[in-house]
A and B are shown apart, each in its own frame.
Chain A
Amino acid sequence: MKELLSRQDKWFRFKELPIIFVYTVLIGAFILAAPKVFSGYRIYMSFLQTIPPQLVLALGLTLVITAGEIDLSFSAVVAFSGFVFAYTFRTFGTPWVAFILALASGALVGFVNGILIARIGVPSIMATLAAQFFWSGLTVQLSGGLSWNIKAIKAHFIHPLFVGRIGGIVPAQSLWALGLAVLIWFILNRHKFGESILFIGDNEEVARVVGVNVEATKIKLFTLNGLIAGFGAVLLTLEMINFWTTQGAGFLLPVMAAVFIGGTSIAGGQGSILGTFFGAYIIGSLEAGVVASGIGGYWTRMTTGLVMGASVVLNIVLGEGKGKSLTQRLRNSVFVKGLRKAG
């Protein structure tokens, strides 16, 4: 009996519970509102097709936010690396070289961010906002503002490998994104590098005195985030078999929302990969779901706002600090603290 209780207690403390609950309720609501659409498997396959690029971006961003920093440039990387990928493939016809260069260009953007932030001391919000403008502007320049069709890539193995349909049904990109989520979970929770990220986000001064190389870790972190965004760009470009200059531009806010819904603290020092995973699926399912439910696309944003609010409150209510009063928990919650810090 005692054992059972403590196990229950453990389950109750499982911090991603609220968000999984939100996702379940959301899907349940959709099934009630549009039973035809949501009882079939097609809608879920379309989620697995469209959400992975944003999920990939959100995973990288989770690491950055856990370190107490922000990166607003990832959506520009989706355009820039996508361009590098499409250009290289169209010019040389070599998909794997295109792939490597796309990842490398993403990493380059991130590396420049990292140098500006860690070495020169520019606040990350400013450095990456500037980067966002610079790299998306450069992409428009280089591509001449045109969109580029890369249909020919369907003949190469890279296409089915990353965005094929497994068994004719399941989009491969969903498995790549899942695999990346598992890898990033291990990096954040089980690797030295992730532990450095946690300590830097928690308290940079503490991190420094206990022997974390803060500067090097931040440079690596932003480089990694650029690399991950480059991978997201490849998934998107391959799925669309097309590059267009503003691709990724609409991802900035939904991807950030996915991370915060998942319970990663804006104050740093705490990040949830599982939360981000569900956060991305919640945000991505909302639009399609709201439209399919027939309540009209213009409700999407409002609903997103409501779901975000609900997730945050649930995270607080079900989160740590049982036994304290609700207002106390609200006041001590990472969200409110984060806002105080930011404000």
Chain B
Amino acid sequence: MEERSYKNAVQTVEIDMYFGEIKALEGINFHVGANEVVGLIGDNGAGKSTLIKILTGVFTPTKGKLYIRDEKIEMKSYSVKQAHNLRIETVYQDKSLAEKQDLWRNFFIGRQITGPLGFIKVKEEKRIANEIMLNMIGFRGAGISVDSKVGKLSGGERQGVSIGRAMYFDADLIVLDEPTIALSLKEVRKVLNFVHQIKEGGKACIYISHNTGDIYEISDRFVILDRGKLVASIQKEEISLKSLNTFLLEYAHGLKENEKQ
């Protein structure tokens, strides 16, 4: 296991995010330790995807500070590219791949292997994409090659591609937004094992899912968002799966709003 020289892989301070009038996030203080797996939980529309899009440079927050590996990030110039350079990888719940494009392009878009004038080294990209498909994802034949269009893939195969991409680019922080949404039990197992690998490799992970069983298995800590606010942060040791479920259900029904602040 590599020794990490920083305390937190990522940290936010008082993040607000507005979409016009809609307040998607408010006063978010969130962090992920250097070798911590955080399960991010919350109802539909709670703001989970919005939060991770801020961490990964897709959205610029309305207000607040961001630290990556304990260093402050200049928000105005922060971008997906910079997040990649800072070794953050993301698998988005959908919208990770472009349907009409070849698979090999989807592996390298945003960080192509290029020659001197910015022309893409197609052969090399295809070769590596093929390796990722065979070795990391375990695609075997089935009529799919690196030249196939994404639109031809099944939901699970697509997830496999985005996850394979994240594995290949090997980051310090890997963000998975509902990575198991379209997967069979077997495939889900692969994803969970991947998260275990991240943990054992000394890296950090944010895992979003509505399946509390999965989250409970892999997380060190649970962070709960509710209507744009971070309402709880619970260590795994402090709670059983059963009480986590009860807690979430009660939150969803708004019964015990202030129980676990």
Contacts and interface: CB of A to CB of B under 8 A. Distances in A.
Interface residues of A, number: 23
A323 B95 CA distance: 28
B114 A208 contact: no
Identify which of B56, B58, B90, B95 gathers the most chain A CB atoms within 10 Å of its CB. Answer: B95
A195 B109 contact: yes
Interface in A139-190: 186, 190
A191 B112 CA distance: 9
Contacts of A38: none
Interface in A196-226: 196, 198-199, 202-203, 205-213
Interface stretch (B97-105, B193-201, B205-213, B230-238): B97-105
How many of chain B's residues touch chain A, expressed as a range? 20 to 34
A186 B109 contact: no
Contacts of A128: none
B101 A192 contact: no
Contacts of A213: 79, 81
B143 interface: no
A211 B255 CA distance: 41
Given A193-B118, A195-B112, A209 B80 contact: yes
A195 B100 CA distance: 12
B120 A203 contact: no
Contact of B105 (A186, A193, A198): A198
Interface of A: 186, 190-193, 195-196, 198-199, 202-203, 205-213, 265, 269-270
Given A193-B118, A209-B95, 17 more contacts: A190-B122, A192-B114, A192-B118, A198-B98, A198-B100, A198-B105, A199-B101, A202-B100, A203-B95, A203-B99, A205-B95, A206-B97, A209-B58, A210-B96, A211-B80, A269-B98, A270-B100
Interface of B: 53, 56, 58, 79-81, 84, 90, 92, 95-101, 105-106, 109-112, 114, 117-120, 122
